[in-house]
Structure 1
Amino acid sequence: MPELNRRTVLQGIGLGGAASLAGCSTSSTPEATQTQTQTETTMNEQKMASRVAADPADIPSPISRTEPKEVDVTLRPEEVTAEIEDGVRFKYMTYNGQVPGPLIRVRKGDTVNLTFDNPAENDLPHNVDFHAAAGPGGGAEATMTAPGETARLKFKATYPGAYIYHCAVPNLDMHISAGMFGLILVEPEDGLPEVDHEFYFGQHEIYTNERASKKGKHEFDMGAMRREEPTYVVINGEKYACTPDKYGPAKVETGDTARVYFVTGGPNLTSSFHPIGNVWKKLWPEGSLTTRPQTHIQTKQVAPGSTTVATMDFPVPGDFKLVDHSLTRVARKGCMAIVQADGPENSEVFDPNPGK
């Protein structure tokens, strides 16, 4: 494997290459791109993780303060091997070891002090582009690091909303597909309406060189990605990760309200985000929290590189499945999460056995 450091990486992608990649340019030399692609598709299994799926309930609490402050954030691009499903291993690229990366929560007017720490045990350079950052490349050039390097970025959250962040190296589509995306929430100055629960989900597709469910190590397949033919389409990094058969569903009680933060990493497929047996009671399209919410929405398209924020309520008990309504992705490729509501039946709203 060729030695990678910041100098050789930046030389390989050309002078100014780090700046152009932040704008999704492919102006790097073919030789450099081929070398990096070969390196990325033959990475060593340095670290085995038992799980990369983000816990949908593990997110920061709503912000109650009324004044802006400086918020310290650390992101570590971690390359780990984990199972997409039982017996199927894959080399993920993650932020802080999870997919999607951690939900970062700030308030409009806050200053984000980011430490971007690329561990020495990684094989590859990484960076991060924040759609919430008003600056060139969203910080991608400033955070471009080789393994063993640390970069720092400071930006002010000047506009509210829910925004994606993602890796933006020359092979950014591969890095995002392998898990390098997340959501940064910039709360409006007046905060958000109170709810009983908040959950965080992210959808992306994974392209491998083997058929789904074939046991063993799956390598990343660049050709399948070019054809946009994914092996898996998943929510929170693994096949059916947030369901009773894997790590368990998100849980609520009947009568509760929940707000869902949803990000589509892609890199290619638009999600038709739908709650089976429910609707989005209020929905802020594209994560725009300064617009009037839409109401009682059955299915919302969320394009790669975008988000949505939506609320649900639970008048009856049961499993409410969150899916991409391109349903082959649910039935064949693993794209489903569940919110489980516990509590008494309410036959006036829903009676599965009328007359009995």
Structure 2
Amino acid sequence: MLTRRAAMMGVAGIAALPMLAQAAKTEEIMDTSMAPPADLSSLQRIKRRLIRPPMVHEHEQVAPAEPRIVEFEMQIVEKEVDVGDGAFLQAMTFNGSIPGPMMVVHEGDYVELNLYNSPENLMQHNIDFHAATGALGGGSLTLVNPGEKTTLRFKATRPGTFVYHCAPGGPMIPWHVVSGMSGAIMVLPRNGLTDHNGDPVRYDRVFYIGENDFYIPRDAQGNFKRFADVGESYPDTLEVMNGLIPSHVVFNGKIGALTGDNALHAAQGEKVLFVHSQANRDTRPHLIGGHGDLVWETGKFNNPPERDLETWFIRGGSAGAALYEFRQPGVYAYVNHNLIEAVNLGATAHVIVEGDWNNDLMEQVQAPVEYNAAYEGKTALP
């Protein structure tokens, strides 16, 4: 009898077969059935509906007195994605978006995720939460084939921002991650965020920026290749991946995902929390025209935030958070300050801020005019 797993592997393509077989041998499949169940019957259950980044679902900044079980549903979707510049990615996604949606809970809460692998998918998937404890972050307990579902619950014991990603084993891990399968979870302290003095901090809005590096192959003429499905894309994509030179470095799945008509919006005087994740490579966010008033560079809220940063560092495989109060109106560029990656490869977002200009903070004393170079500007030279 042909099993679902065998059918999935056959459809995925001959090139992927040895990799999938190796993946099955690489990671331990844990059996936790002998452990006594946790009695959480006294805890309140709430359901949160995930929404597409850069927005984040409704949540409290200060938790109620008692921990809760916070339920989420997430569907794995394999699909072709237009990433701009004439390139199409055979993507693997959480909930159909790149990055996957951000979850928010509080320290001491229980995260309960119902994970669905759509029947039309070709690949086996799972989820590894960097916020979780044991079982490869849940990866050993969530392996699902197409048409299967699973439920994982873990206790959020450490406050901070954390990456989650697919990690089905062996060479499949990097391929799934750079094909779009990563996201973030924010575990807030129960009493909310605090500054360097321990005083309460609130934000008016939160934006989730997920940065991805893509490795889309080109043909002999230099044009981006396009594939029928994710299995067919694997051999050529692997060759580009192993060269470690991305074809694209983008925010939220494509060039221009957060610029133009898709730009973010805020108002003068608002405090905005930027959560930034990168599951695979180091990056360095920078807000042109602004700063990081408070920056949890490693994303961990038990550590006091740094202040007044111009650029901060997000390690590959982590998420960080930065709070900024917008003091001037205008268009701000939020970029990866490897400016080659920002300008040429796509890692740029725009924030449009409404308000009234403050000349005390910046003033154009004189608009550009021509000057007499024979007499003026000489004293500017050393």
User: How high is the TM-score relative to the length of structure 2?
Assistant: 0.77
In structure 1, the residue corresponding to 2:89 is in which secondary structure? strand
Q: CA deviation at 1:322?
A: 1.0
AA at the equivalent of 2:297: P
Would you say 1:234 and 2:250 are equivalent positions?
yes
Q: CA deviation at 1:210?
A: 2.1
Task: Pick one of 237, 242, 264 that aligns with 1:250.
Answer: 264
In structure 2, the residue corresponding to 1:83 is in which secondary structure? strand
Task: Pick one of 53, 56, 60 that aligns with 2:58.
Answer: 60
What's the Cα RMSD here?
Answer: 2.7
Q: 1:236-293: per-residue Cα shift (whole Å, max 9, x none)?
A: 111121001xx42110111211111111122xx2101111111101001211101111
Task: Pick one of 299, 305, 310 that aligns with 2:322.
Answer: 310
- Counterpart position of 2:218: 210
Is contact 2:85–2:255 with CA below 8 Å preserved after alignment?
no
What CA distance in whole angstroms lies between the structure 2 residues aligned with 1:14 and 1:177? 17
AA at the equivalent of 2:5: N
What CA distance in whole angstroms lies between the structure 1 residues aligned with 2:284 and 2:303? 21
Is contact 2:53–2:102 with CA below 8 Å preserved after alignment?
no
Q: 1:145-196: per-residue Cα shift (whole Å, max 9, x none)?
A: 1101111212111111111000001311111111100111111121222122
Is contact 1:316–1:350 with CA below 8 Å preserved after alignment?
no
Of 211-220 and 80-89, more deviation after overlay is shown by 211-220
- Counterpart position of 1:35: none
What CA distance in whole angstroms lies between the structure 1 residues aligned with 2:213 and 2:301? 27
What CA distance in whole angstroms lies between the structure 2 residues aligned with 1:352 and 1:213? 45
Q: CA deviation at 1:88?
A: 3.0
Q: CA deviation at 1:353?
A: 5.0
What CA distance in whole angstroms lies between the structure 2 residues aligned with 1:68 and 1:344? 42
Task: Pick one of 331, 338, 342 that aligns with 2:350.
Answer: 338
Q: CA deviation at 1:14?
A: 7.1
What CA distance in whole angstroms lies between the structure 2 residues aligned with 1:355 and 1:335? 31
Alignment of 1:324-335 (within 5 A): 324-335=336-347
- Counterpart position of 1:74: 73
In structure 2, the residue corresponding to 1:300 is in which secondary structure? coil
Q: CA deviation at 1:54?
A: 4.3
What CA distance in whole angstroms lies between the structure 1 residues aligned with 2:242 and 2:225? 23
Would you say 1:19 and 2:35 are equivalent positions?
no
AA at the equivalent of 2:28: A
Of 315-324 and 216-225, more deviation after overlay is shown by 216-225
Instruction: Report the CA distance shift for 1:328/1:213 in structure 2 as closer, same or farther (over 3 A).
Output: farther
Is contact 1:88–1:213 with CA below 8 Å preserved after alignment?
no
What CA distance in whole angstroms lies between the structure 1 residues aligned with 2:24 and 2:77? 27
Tell me the number of residue pairs that the alignment of Structure 1 and Structure 2 aligns. Answer: 320
Q: CA deviation at 1:94?
A: 0.7
What CA distance in whole angstroms lies between the structure 2 residues aligned with 1:63 and 1:314? 20
Q: 1:289-316: per-residue Cα shift (whole Å, max 9, x none)?
A: 0111100011111111111111112111
- Counterpart position of 2:161: 162
Of 194-203 and 9-18, more deviation after overlay is shown by 9-18
User: How high is the TM-score relative to the length of structure 1?
Assistant: 0.83
Is contact 1:129–1:167 with CA below 8 Å preserved after alignment?
yes
What CA distance in whole angstroms lies between the structure 2 residues aligned with 1:84 and 1:202? 14
Alignment of 1:280-291 (within 5 A): 280-291=292-303
- Counterpart position of 2:185: 184
Would you say 1:301 and 2:307 are equivalent positions?
no
What CA distance in whole angstroms lies between the structure 2 residues aligned with 1:180 and 1:93? 6
- Counterpart position of 2:203: 195
Is contact 2:272–2:325 with CA below 8 Å preserved after alignment?
yes
Q: CA deviation at 1:346?
A: 1.0
Percent identical across equivalent pairs?
Answer: 28
Is contact 1:200–1:260 with CA below 8 Å preserved after alignment?
yes
What CA distance in whole angstroms lies between the structure 2 residues aligned with 1:323 and 1:116? 32
AA at the equivalent of 1:295: R
What CA distance in whole angstroms lies between the structure 2 residues aligned with 1:90 and 1:255? 39
Structure 1 unaligned spans of 5+: 22-52
Is contact 2:95–2:101 with CA below 8 Å preserved after alignment?
yes
Instruction: Report the CA distance shift for 1:76/1:18 in structure 2 as closer, same or farther (over 3 A).
Output: farther
Bigger CA radius of gyration: 2
Is contact 1:316–1:341 with CA below 8 Å preserved after alignment?
yes
Would you say 1:222 and 2:230 are equivalent positions?
no
Q: 1:30-54: per-residue Cα shift (whole Å, max 9, x none)?
A: xxxxxxxxxxxxxxxxxxxxxxx94
What CA distance in whole angstroms lies between the structure 2 residues aligned with 1:355 and 1:79? 52
Runs of 4+ aligned residues of structure 1 deviating over 6 Å after TM superposition are 6-11
In structure 2, the residue corresponding to 1:223 is in which secondary structure? helix
Q: CA deviation at 1:355?
A: 7.0
Task: Pick one of 268, 276, 279 that aligns with 1:262.
Answer: 276
AA at the equivalent of 2:308: H
Is contact 2:328–2:358 with CA below 8 Å preserved after alignment?
yes
Instruction: Report the CA distance shift for 1:222/1:312 in structure 2 as closer, same or farther (over 3 A).
Output: same
AA at the equivalent of 1:183: A
AA at the equivalent of 1:97: G
Is contact 2:72–2:114 with CA below 8 Å preserved after alignment?
yes
What CA distance in whole angstroms lies between the structure 2 residues aligned with 1:100 and 1:164? 10
Is contact 1:264–1:302 with CA below 8 Å preserved after alignment?
yes
Is contact 2:8–2:145 with CA below 8 Å preserved after alignment?
no
Q: CA deviation at 1:345?
A: 1.2
Is contact 1:202–1:264 with CA below 8 Å preserved after alignment?
yes
In structure 1, the residue corresponding to 2:118 is in which secondary structure? coil
